[in-house]
Amino acid sequence: MTVRVRYAPSPTGPLHIGSARTVLYNWLFARQHGGKMILRSEDTDRERSDVKWEQEICQSLRWLGLDWDEGVDAGGDCGPYRQTQRLELYRDYIQRLEQQGRTYYCFCTPEDLEARRQQSRYEHGGYDGACRQLSAQEVARRLEQGESAAVRFRVPRDTKVEFNDLVRGDIAVETAEISDFVILKKDGIPTYNFAVVVDDVTMGISHVIRANEHLINTPRQILLYQALGEQPPAFAHISLILDKSGRKMSKRMGDTAVDAYAQKGYLPEAIVNYIALLGWSPEDEQEIFSLEELVAEFDMGRVSRSPAIFDVKKLDWMNNQYIMQTDTGRLADMAMEVLAGQGVEVARGREWLRQVIEVVRDELANLAQLAEFLPEFTEEEVEISPQAMESLTWEHSGLVLDQFISRLKQLDSLTSDSVGEMLKQLNKDIKKQTGSGGKTVFMPVRAALSGQTSGQELYLLVPLLGRELALKRIDFCRRAATDSGVNNE
Ligand code: GLU
């Protein structure tokens, strides 16, 4: 069998993390089986749908590296791939059901339905079947009078819908629990349950992998497949994603849109890796997976039935792992964009930012956090710790700093090599002059450059500060030491 899967978003908002996981599982399944991935836009909710969202969803998918073989923006033999462009097709299929007596017109108004809903024998207030028995003459008369009608599917009675869900196992639902549902609304627009079946049939979908919230619709859809004489696809319903407090993931508790993570400088491969593990567990303890490894390892049979918990701390940890192993050139390109998006100007440019990343990346959960580190390398005035202040008062600190300054001024170019060499020589010379080196030299230099007694390697810090700022810092720190009354000169 050729595997054909689809992702069918309603373009009413950005791509949610949970939907990204749905796409990923579809995508992995397709790639594992040499199948095709289709992207289709379920845009029949005209009020809420907007192509702007469709484009944004496509963009987020591309950013994640999840491509599709057919569909919106890709074309293909089963198009068009937007439901609003397929209305003719749905009408043909409605007619097919009509001809087999599987449908009836329903003239009930929302008010009628509401008034009777309380008495409905269906658990969730389904339809009581009032128009099921209308005679052909009455229907014809009312249509002629211009009364508008929806089309309902005649659910077969006294039978069961049974199917095996690839995640949830065997499922059986009595049709007594399913009321006759609308397949074509009064405005001529098909309902989700009907359009999705027509689309999945005509697009040759073999596996429907989707969110668990649609499990309730599946028996209805299977009834439609049966009525149309079509073989239903295999179904896999993936569990909800909850936040740490056990509630459905919501904006209130943190970012839910993939785009928000992109803007904060999470790496797409970290997001993919993280969401792959939201509901799927590999056989061993491995946690870091490339997309290729996921294609090889992912197993629909190991997708959990219980809800997954979204833990941003875990995502931060994972993103840091990726930041540590990613080429700093690429990180710098991404970070320039991320910081620009946050309104942070990187006056000294991309190469300088790349060097900053090299120095601080082990502390980054995402690239937007660079903004908090930049002042360390750009501000003239720094906070000075008591230990740093004290080291500036040591007996030889004045001499050390004077000599450091004059050598710094003489260096042709500031590179980690040239600065490293200069510091080594300075240490040697001071030792010769005073009898002590090491801490006596490096501590006051560090204190005067950063206000701290620990931190980045000096040979990395100095080139990042640059000559001008390094000199200003030293001046600032020395003055602060003088003002605090512990003059060392
Ligand atoms: N448009 C539906 C949604 O966004 C997709 C339903 C399906 O995959 O069948 O939830």
Q: What is the CATH number of domain 326-378?
A: 1.10.8
Q: How far is the CA of 48 from the centre of ligand 1 (A)?
A: 15
Decide whether any atom of ligand 1 lies within 6 Å of the 196 Cβ: yes
Residue 64 has pLDDT above 50, yes or no: yes
- Residue 407's pLDDT is 98
**What 8-state DSSP symbol labels residue 303?**
B
Asked if residue 478 has pLDDT above 90, the reply is yes
Ligand 1 center to 46 CA (angstroms):
15
Distance CA 329, CA 350 (A): 9
Cα–Cα distance, 190 to 284 (Å, whole number)? 46
Report helix, strand or coil for 379. Answer: coil
DSSP sequence for 152-206: EE-PPSS-EEEEEETTTEEEEEEGGG----EEE-TTSPBPHHHHHHHHHHHTT--
Residue 323 has pLDDT above 50, yes or no: yes
Atom of ligand 1 nearest to the CA of 42: 1
CA of 261 to the centre of ligand 1 (A): 23
Helices (H) and strands (E) in the chain, counts: 19, 12
Query: Hey, which residues are catalytic here?
Result: 251
Closest-lying ligand 1 atom to the alpha carbon of residue 196: 9
CATH 3.90.800.10 domain span(s) along the chain: 87-194
pLDDT grade, residue 120 (50/70/90)? confident
Ligand 1 atom, smallest distance to 200 CA: 9
What 8-state DSSP symbol labels residue 14?
P
pTM: 0.93
CATH 1.10.10.350 domain locations along the chain: 386-483
**Lookup result for tokens 């087999």:** 100
For residue 42 and ligand 1, the question of a CB distance below 6 A is answered with: yes
SS3 208: strand
Nearest CA to ligand 1 atom 6: 8
Pocket test for ligand 1, best of 22, 48, 210, 241 (most atoms within 8 A of CB): 210
Cβ of 9 below 6 Å from ligand 1: yes
Start-end ranges of CATH 3.40.50.620 in the chain? 1-71+239-325
Q: What is the mean pLDDT of the chain?
A: 95
pLDDT by residue (tens digit) across 226-284? Answer: 999 999 999 999 999 999 888 888 777 789 999 999 999 999 999 999 999 999 999 99
472 confidence band (pLDDT: 50, 70, 90): very high
Distance 8 CA to ligand 1 centre (A): 5
Which CATH class name applies to 87-194? Answer: alpha beta
Confidence of residue 484 (pLDDT cuts 50, 70, 90): confident
The response to whether residue 210 sits with its C-beta less than 6 Å from ligand 1 reads yes
Residue 75's contacts (CB-CB under 8 Å, 6 or more residues apart) are none
Say if ligand 1 is within 6 A of residue 8 CB.
yes
pLDDT for the residue numbered 485 = 67
Tell me the mean pLDDT in the region 412-430: 97
Fold for the domain defined by 1-71+239-325 = Rossmann fold (3.40.50)
Query: Which band of pLDDT confidence, cut at 50, 70 and 90, is reported for residue 122?
Result: confident
Report whether pLDDT(217) > 50.
yes
Ligand 1 atom closest to 22 (CA): 8
Query: What average pLDDT does this structure show over 148-175?
Result: 97
Helix (H) or strand (E) holding 212: none
Residue with CA at minimum distance from ligand 1 atom 10? 9
- CA–centroid distance, 10 to ligand 1, in Å, is 7
167-185: average pLDDT: 97
Q: Which atom of ligand 1 is nearest to the CA of 7?
A: 8
The CA 210 to ligand 1 mean position distance, Å, reads 7
Q: Decide whether any atom of ligand 1 lies within 6 Å of the 214 Cβ.
A: yes
Ligand 1 center–CA 231 separation, angstroms: 20
CATH topology of domain 386-483: Arc Repressor Mutant, subunit A (1.10.10)
DSSP letter for each residue of 50-103:
-HHHHHHHHHHHHHHT---SEETTTB-TT---BGGG-HHHHHHHHHHHHHTT-E
Give all strands (DSSP E) within 212-286, no chain letters.
Answer: 234-238, 241-242
Mean pLDDT, residues 399-404 taken together: 98
At residue 390, does pLDDT exceed 90? yes
Q: How confident is the model at residue 487 (pLDDT cuts 50, 70, 90)?
A: very low
Statement: residue 453 has pLDDT above 60: yes
d(CA 363, CA 402): 33
